[in-house]
């Protein structure tokens, strides 16, 4: 009996120790659970923040891609416009060169015309002077000769006017 009592006492002590251990393990388990929940809450918050950050970065990346595409399109259009303007400028330069040559040719031709008309005018003036000298020397001239002289003077006046116009141009 004594052995049995001793055994019961021993088992009771062992049970009490095991209950203390069990209680300690339960407390530790509850603490670990609380820490895990805190950790999970913190991780959920971090995940939410990272998701928001990822969304912001993704939107920013999309905006940058759109801006890059727009810049590329603008650069392409600008390049096309520049090429067009350069071609137009080249054509304009060629046209200016052609007009310059044409102007020089016309000026040269006008100079030659002026020389020819000036010589012709001098020749006609000399002829007129000769006719006037003959008239003075010969006395009265006939009406027919007078008409010829008048016609010739009119012609000379017209040529002189033409020369004046050419010189003014």
Q: What is the pLDDT of residues 56-115, one digit of tens each?
A: 999 999 999 999 999 999 999 999 999 999 999 999 999 999 999 998 888 888 888 888
Q: Give tens-digit pLDDT for 9-23.
A: 888 899 999 999 999
Neighbours of 139 (CB within 10 A): 6
Say which DSSP state 140 is in: S
Q: What percent of the chain has pLDDT over 70?
A: 94
- Residue located via tokens 């021993």: 10
What is the C-alpha to C-alpha distance for residues 9 and 139, in angstroms, rounded to an integer?
186
How much of the chain is helix, strand and coil, in % rounded to 5?
A: 95, 0, 5
- Using pLDDT thresholds of 50, 70 and 90, give the confidence band for residue 122: confident
Split into its structural domains, the chain has a count of 1
Domain that holds residue 76: 2-168
Query: pTM score, two decimals?
Result: 0.43
């Amino acid at each position: 009996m004594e052995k049995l009592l001793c055994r019961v006492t021993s088992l009771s002590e062992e049970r009490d120790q095991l209950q203390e251990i069990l209680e300690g393990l339960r407390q530790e388990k509850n603490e670990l659970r609380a820490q895990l929940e805190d950790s999970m809450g913190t991780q959920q918050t971090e995940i939410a923040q990272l998701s928001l950050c990822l969304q912001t970065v993704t939107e920013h990346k999309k905006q940058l891609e759109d801006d890059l595409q727009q810049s590329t399109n603008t650069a392409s259009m600008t390049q096309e416009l520049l090429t067009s303007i350069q071609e137009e400028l080249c054509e304009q330069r060629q046209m200016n060169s052609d007009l310059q040559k044409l102007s020089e040719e016309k000026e040269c031709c006008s100079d030659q015309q002026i020389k020819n008309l000036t010589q012709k005018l001098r020749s006609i003036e000399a002829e007129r002077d000769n006719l006037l000298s003959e008239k003075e020397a010969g006395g009265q001239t006939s009406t027919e000769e007078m008409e010829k002289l008048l016609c010739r003077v009119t012609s000379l006046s017209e040529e002189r006017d033409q020369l004046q116009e050419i010189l003014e141009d």
